[in-house]
Amino acid sequence: MRYDLNLLPVFLVLMEERSVTRAAQRLGITQPALSNALTRLRTMLQDPLFVRQRYGMEPTQKAQELAPVLAAALASVDEVVLGQQAFDPAKARQRITIASNSYVEFVLMPRVVARLQERAPGVQLRLIPYGADLADTGVMSGDTAMVLGRVVNAPDNLVVQHLMDESLACVVRADHPTVHKRLSRQQFERLKHVNLVPPGGRLRVGLFQALEKQGLQREVAVSVTHFLAIPEMIAVSDHCATLPSLICRRLAQDPRLKVLPAPVDLGTFPVEMAWHARHRHDPAHRWLRALVVEVAKELCAAG
């Protein structure tokens, strides 16, 4: 039996998008043309392949079995073809959109920007906020290059890569009247605290869960929406803040502040990178992902 190989990429795009409308837009064809291609696919593979559900198209068992096999076959072709398309960062001229939470924007992105200035000066970055909803970032359609932060319940069309694990520490003002070289559990519970409430509250939820697990009480006196507000609050009060360790490392350079270990082990939280599966073999995207991984490893090693 002869197969129409042109239909196989259509099948994989449908597997990733789970929508005729989004798949047609991505492939640059009309919806009727894509529907016609799907009909031919069903005939060729002798299976319905997709069943319409409330939130999109659900692949059949046969489609799920075929997808990894066909994806691997086409990926091998991509490796040969795209691998020949050398990406020269020094000559690249493009604008890249990245969705990041405030932690990543403060800790990771300055080093990424410095590295881009050095290696790819023609690449422009556009950072957009990432709270809790991946759908709002544009990464699920592939318009946004990647998401950086905590990625929870990612859909099948996103690839998620772990970058690093981050711990927590405490910050008080340098001349605090009662906290000196260490912070005890009793002191932590007696102090009033400055709390960070970022968009989506992922870190807030994680910290609250860690405190609850350890049975540690905390009275929140002030809630803020960005890391940059916290040192100013701490410097003029006797309050305490519990923050990611890499944030605290930056704040330790401020003579008005001092960083201390948390009184109990509050665990760690992951920092992750996610991108649409269509970018998996793109040379420019692979280069950028490698750059982000490189920076994350350097940050961990410096700790």
C-alpha span between 123 and 102 (Å, rounded): 22
pLDDT digits (tens, 9 = 90+) for 257-280: 999 999 999 998 899 999 988 788
CB 242 within 8 A of CB 262: yes
pLDDT digits (tens, 9 = 90+) for 7-27: 888 898 898 888 888 888 888
pLDDT digits (tens, 9 = 90+) for 128-186: 988 777 877 888 777 899 999 988 888 777 889 999 999 999 999 999 999 999 999 99
3-state helix, strand, coil in the chain (%, to 5): 45, 25, 30
The reported pLDDT for the residue numbered 200 is: 46
- The identity of residue 296, as a single letter, is A
Which segments of 3-157 are extended strands (E)? 50-53, 56-59, 94-100, 123-129, 146-149
pLDDT digits (tens, 9 = 90+) for 26-85: 888 889 999 999 999 999 889 999 998 766 788 999 998 888 888 777 776 666 665 556
Is residue 154 helix, strand or coil?
Answer: coil
CB 68 within 8 A of CB 16: no
Q: Among residues 130, 121, 64, 66, which one has the least CA distance to residue 97? A: 130
CB 220 within 8 A of CB 192: yes
Q: Which domains are assigned to the chain?
A: 7-83 (1.10.10.10), 94-165+270-302 (3.40.190.10), 168-267 (3.40.190.10)
Residue 78's alpha-carbon distances to 13, 72, 81, 158, 281, in angstroms, are 15, 10, 5, 18, 7
pLDDT digits (tens, 9 = 90+) for 245-258: 999 999 999 999 99
CB 121 within 8 A of CB 92: no
Which residues lie below 8 Å from residue 225, measured CB to CB, with a gap of 6+? 196, 197, 198, 199
